[in-house]
């Protein structure tokens, strides 16, 4: 009678226990590998989000700085045509945080128009919005073009340095004669923006001219 050696039987295949152990080890390694992959993916997504947020804030602050530093001494006519609005106006209970006339409006399309632009800023639902008109002296039929400049904004504050080097919370300065207040500009403007995620950012901008 031909009997197989016990060792020969064991070498013919794997036992159930060995298969279960192998599957258990494979499951553990798969779980560890997936955890590492998931962690790396989450880290990469956070890096992309952080870079996008940084670019947004840098662009928004740069736009503010350019607008304010290029303020032009040019009042505009109100929409009804019966009033004149100052070259810069802010902090006096208006619907907007800041209105100003700026120089250097680029004209890449070659349209026949001036280089002065009327710009307004307002805070709505934690978003700082920038708007401008296609014409310098708008009428009621001219609708502004608006963009979301900065998001997750808790607070925006502007302060203005007058010719006496005194910081005030509104512009034109209350002590200026009405005619002077239309065209005169502050020496500098301080911006304080409080973000929900970035904390507080402060910029001091010198007004040209």
Condensed to tens digits (0 to 9), the pLDDT of residues 48-101 reads 888 999 999 999 999 999 999 999 999 998 877 778 999 999 987 667 999 999
Could you give the number of structural domains in the chain? Answer: 1
Given a contact cutoff of 8 angstroms between Cβ atoms, the answer to whether 158 and 193 are in contact is no
pTM as predicted = 0.76
Given a contact cutoff of 8 angstroms between Cβ atoms, the answer to whether 101 and 88 are in contact is yes
| Rounded-to-integer distance, Cα 150 and Cα 129, Å | 7
Instruction: Identify each DSSP E strand in 80-126 by its residue range.
Output: 84-85, 88-90, 98-102, 117-124
Residues (pLDDT < 50) of the chain are 1, 7-11
Is the residue at 24 inside a domain? no
Is the residue at 55 inside a domain? no
Is the residue at 144 inside a domain? yes
Is the residue at 18 inside a domain? no
Is the residue at 199 inside a domain? yes
Domain that holds residue 150: 65-206
Cβ atoms within 10 Å of 45's Cβ, excluding its own: 10
- Give the CATH number for residue 153: 3.10.610.10
| Rounded-to-integer distance, Cα 99 and Cα 163, Å | 20
Is the residue at 114 inside a domain? yes
Is the residue at 13 inside a domain? no
Given a contact cutoff of 8 angstroms between Cβ atoms, the answer to whether 205 and 69 are in contact is yes
Is the residue at 49 inside a domain? no
Give the β-pairing of 88-90 and 98-102. antiparallel
């Amino acid at each position: 009678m031909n009997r197989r050696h016990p060792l020969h039987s064991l070498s013919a295949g794997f036992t159930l226990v060995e298969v279960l152990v192998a599957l258990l080890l494979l499951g553990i390694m798969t779980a560890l590998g997936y955890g590492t992959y998931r962690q790396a993916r989450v880290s990469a997504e956070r890096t992309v989000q952080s870079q996008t947020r940084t670019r947004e804030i840098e662009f928004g602050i740069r736009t503010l700085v350019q607008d304010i530093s290029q303020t032009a001494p040019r009042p505009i006519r109100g929409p009804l045509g019966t009033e004149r609005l100052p070259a810069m106006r802010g902090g006096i209970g208006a619907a907007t945080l800041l209105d100003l006339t700026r120089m250097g409006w680029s004209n890449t399309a070659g349209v026949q128009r001036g280089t002065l632009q009327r710009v307004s800023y307002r805070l709505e639902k934690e978003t700082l919005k920038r708007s401008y008109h296609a014409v310098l002296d708008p009428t009621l039929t001219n609708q502004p073009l608006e963009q979301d400049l900065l998001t997750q904004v808790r607070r925006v504050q502007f302060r203005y340095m007058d010719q006496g080097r005194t910081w005030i919370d509104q512009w034109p300065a209350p002590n200026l004669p009405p005619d002077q207040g239309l065209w005169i500009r502050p020496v500098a403007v301080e911006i304080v923006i409080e973000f929900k995620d970035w904390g507080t950012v402060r910029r001091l901008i010198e007004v040209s001219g």
